[in-house]
Chain A
Amino acid sequence: MAENTVISIQDVHKTYVLSSKPSFWARITGRTQAEKRLEVLKGVDLDIHRGETVVILGSSGSGKSTLLRCINKLETIEGGRIYVNGHLIGYEEKDGQLVAEKPSLTAKKRTDIGFVFQHFNLFLNKTALGNVMAPLRDVKGLSAADARKKALPNLEMVGLGDRAENFPSRLSGGQKQRVAIARALAMEPSVMLFDEPTSALDPELVGEVLSVIKKIAQQGTTMAIVTHEMQFAREIADRIVIMDQGVIVEQGHPEAIFTNPQHPKTRALLKRSGIVPPQDK
């Protein structure tokens, strides 16, 4: 592993079991149903380096969100390894096998990984400021005064210093997402993961969230972003990764991907987004 590698994903496999419970009819007839399995990640390798902004693109069902969720173990994996800053995430290795580690160890490693959800997931019973302060107090053990001191600049950074006392129910979607970003940033993680951060927003609110993400990228934060915003991806990414059906089909510099895509799936994806590569014209 190179020294400046923050995230190292090695041959990761993930399968969803869709119907593990036999149906009522299967049970009374004694006929067991074949389990429906969906292999969403079929051996993914990806290294993300310090300060790098990687944007993962792909059609829905390509496994890009699942991959992101595996990085901080919101999903289990069946095979492969994921390292963040050299620490194996979510598992211990025993005789070459993955064994689930103690949840408290996973929790500790997660404090180093910021995650921003599509649906914001703000704590509904806390104000904007309360949301940013909560993990600082509950996880990092800061006093209320110290947590406040740390939370406020982060809220100001996302442009919501004046909304500190508002509950989520009184914030717009864009504002909620900016609070969620501030909450993750305040923990000072070494990497930020964004899972379709603007997909649940009204079109006119997308811009304010993207500009906050750009600002964070300019500060040299290591980031992985799953998005459908092609133009944004082109502007912000140091590297674009294209996923299709559980594997990475192509990756490279955004200009190379957008102007000279190699893989047919990449070309199809760009076409669907209204971007026609020069060679196809």
Chain B
Amino acid sequence: MDFINNTLAVFPALIGAVPVVLQLALGAMALALVLGLLVALARISNFKILRAISTVYVEVLRGTPLLVQLVYIFFVLPSVGVEIEPIPAGILGLGLNYAAYLSEVFRSAILSVEHGQTEAALSLGYTPNKTLWKVVIPQSFVVSMGPIGNYFIAMIKDTALASVIAVTEILKTANILNSQTFQTTAIYTAAALLYLIISLPLSRIVIVLERKARAIG
């Protein structure tokens, strides 16, 4: 009983960190969506140089740990004169990293749109650019909705990594609390539960979105 009471008692102190987590995740997701789409377009473009740059970007960002990337942005960049506050640094690191993964989602979604859709648009007088933005990309979003949702949930959990670059999100708050009270079990159990409380409803939403997407496709 004590364990449950202690855990519950820690919640109010941790809940204060939830807005920070949401700020990180939403900010980074916005960055990752925009950048991810641009990288995806670069990867399928006609220009060799764009294809090369975007391929290197994806390989580097996926081939090194997110934790290392965050540390790099926060601790190494200042040595070349670029100092970024903890939260913006967290958003930047998470966003750049997830952009690499999302670009792959977008790329395969764009390529999965049937060629007949493109031909129909062209035959109706759409320019190639309009065909891409008005016909192909909107349909690729339908396909990528589920994977994007899953990456968003993963990102919520990855915000915990920002604790190493001085962002007082849930884990960092728990660490501070622990060093003051030493209620290790209660504190970290509460922290874990808090992540679960955020991500469970989100995964329900993703399932609904996927079902909707299937109904259209």
- A residues with CB within 8 A of B: 72, 74, 103-104, 107-108, 110-111, 113-115, 117, 119, 121-125, 134-135, 138-139, 167, 169, 180, 183-184, 187
Contact B125 A121 (CB under 8 A): no
List CB contacts (< 8 Å) of B119-157 with chain A. Answer: 119-128, 130, 134-135, 138-139, 142
**Which 4 pairs from chain A and chain B are nearest by CB?**
A111-B125, A121-B120, A115-B123, A121-B116
**In the assembled complex, B12 has its CB within 8 A of some CB on chain A:** no
B45 at the interface (CB under 8 A from A): no
Contacts A111-B125, A117-B119 known; list 7 others, CB within 8 Å.
A104-B127, A110-B122, A121-B117, A134-B124, A135-B125, A169-B217, A184-B123
Would you give the shortest CB distance from B84 to chain A, in whole angstroms?
A: 39
| Distance of A27 Cα from B156 Cα, bound (Å) | 47
Instruction: Let me know if B124 and A125 touch, CB within 8 A.
Output: no
- Indicate whether A124 sits within 8 Å of B123 (C-beta atoms), given known contacts A134-B134, A138-B134, A139-B130: no
Question: In the complex, how many angstroms separate the beta carbon of A7 from the nearest chain B beta carbon?
Answer: 15
Q: Which residues of B contact A187 (CB under 8 A)?
A: 124-125
Please indicate the chain A residues that have their CB under 8 angstroms from the CB of B215 in the complex: 167, 169
Q: How far does the Cβ of B27 sit from chain A's closest Cβ, in whole Å?
A: 28
Is there an interface contact between A125 and B122, defined as CB atoms closer than 8 Å?
no
Do B216 and A124 touch (CB < 8 A)?
A: yes
Known contacts being A74-B119, A119-B116, A138-B134, is A124 close to B217, with CB within 8 Å?
yes
**Residue contact A72 to B117, C-beta cutoff 8 Å:** no
**In this complex, what residue of B is CB-closest to A122?**
B120
Please measure, in the bound complex, the distance between the C-alpha atom of A180 and the C-alpha atom of B215, giving whole angstroms.
20
Provide a sorted-by-A list of 17 A–B residue pairs whose CB atoms are within 8 angstroms: A74-B119, A103-B127, A111-B125, A117-B119, A117-B120, A121-B117, A122-B120, A123-B117, A125-B138, A135-B121, A135-B126, A138-B134, A139-B124, A139-B130, A169-B215, A169-B216, A184-B124
Residues from chain A with a CB closer than 8 A to the CB of B125 are: 107-108, 110-111, 135, 139, 187
Shortest beta-carbon distance, B132 to chain A, in Å?
12
Contact B116 A117 (CB under 8 A): yes
Cβ contact within 8 Å between B117 and A138: no
Collect the chain B residues with CB atoms within 8 Å of residue A184's CB. 123-124
A80 CB, min distance to chain B CBs, angstroms: 21
Q: Which residue of A is nearest B213, CB measured?
A: A125
Residues of chain A with a CB closer than 8 A to B216's CB: 124-125, 167, 169
Nearest B-chain residue to A105, judged by Cβ:
B127
Q: What residues of chain A lie closer than 8 Å to B127, measured between beta carbons? A: 103-104, 107
> Considering only CB atoms, which chain B residue lies closest to A131 in the complex?
B120
Distance in angstroms from A141 CB to nearest chain B CB is 11
The residues in B between 23 and 76 inclusive whose CB is less than 8 angstroms from any CB of A are none
Chain A residues lying within 8 Å of B142, measured Cβ to Cβ, are 125
> Which residue of the partner chain B has the closest CB to A139?
B125
CB distance from B145 to the nearest CB of A (A): 11
CB interface residues, B 62-100, toward A, < 8 Å: none
In the complex, residue of chain B having the shortest beta-carbon distance to the beta carbon of A74: B119
The interface residues of chain A lying within 8 Å CB-to-CB of B124 are: 110-111, 115, 134-135, 139, 183-184, 187
Residue from the set B119, B123, B138 with the largest chain A CB neighbour count within 10 Å: B123
User: How distant is B49 from chain A, measured CB to nearest CB, in Å?
Assistant: 21
Neighbouring A residues of B134 by C-beta, 8 Å: 134, 138
Docked pose: A103 CA to B130 CA in angstroms: 11
Proximity bits, B105-127, A CB within 8 Å = 1, else 0: 00000000010110111111111
Chain B, residue nearest A102 (CB): B127
Partner of A124, one of B117, B126, B128, B130: B117
Q: Which of A121, A183, A187 has the most CB of B within 10 A?
A: A121
Contact of B123 among A110, A122, A123, A167 (CB under 8 A): A110
In whole angstroms, how far apart are the Cα atoms of A72 and B124 in the complex?
Answer: 10
Contact A123 B116 (CB under 8 A): no
Cα–Cα distance between A107 and B134 once the two chains are bound (Å): 15
Which chain A residue shows the least CB distance to B128?
A: A103
In the complex, A138 Cα to B130 Cα: how many Å? Answer: 8
Task: Kindly state the separation between the CA atoms of A103 and B216 in the bound complex, as whole angstroms.
Answer: 30
As a 0/1 sequence over residues 190 to 217 of chain B, the CB contacts with chain A under 8 angstroms (1 = contact) are: 0000000000000000000000000111
The complex places the Cα of A167 from the Cα of B116 at a distance, in Å, of 17
The residue on B at minimum CB distance from A109 is B125
A135 CA to B134 CA, complexed, in Å: 10
